[in-house]
Structure 1
């Protein structure tokens, strides 16, 4: 197994934990305790500030955690797709590493493949009509 950076290990552990039902239940319990404690603190500004600050901090950190997880997943998927393209004899190797192209270049390729799909559907429909 490859050696991962400390950040990657922490990010994976955090994303695994936060994706579990137990984490949701923990967050729900914190909210319930906060809500129930409202009358004890006369629903003060400080009481409201506690939940607002806590949720803001958690949300801020989760954005980076989610982005890190998404980046890793996307990179892994791109590598897998590149390998499938590379391994297929009839595949166009120019399609490897498409994510590095500019938007206009992607638009040209997308139009080419949309045209190929349209032609394939028309050919299938023509064969069906015969």
Structure 2
């Protein structure tokens, strides 16, 4: 199956934004993350393969296959990449508040946020 077809619509939207940003920052490296369930290919590997199918060179991608939540994802990132770098986390607008602690937890990271998948809810729990 084509790796783009293996991504959820939400993940695909994030990946497209990441690839768009990479075109604006030619020295950027794409970091994909996410663990594997049930012994299948990890989310990080699927996203890497999808990015390659969109034209991102293999050597411009790093993967982190162990995180299963936002907190461990950020910890793993800083351990593998470092915490004295510029980073553009791409996340859903709804999830952005939970990654804003980067500014306080890792003050040496130069963080610029990119949001995707905006949703407007009408009433309680309705789209």
Q: Structure 1 length as normaliser, TM-score? A: 0.25
User: Which structure carries more helix by proportion?
Assistant: 1
Larger-gyration structure (1/2): 1
Q: TM-score, normalised by structure 2?
A: 0.26
Structure ranking higher in strand proportion: 2
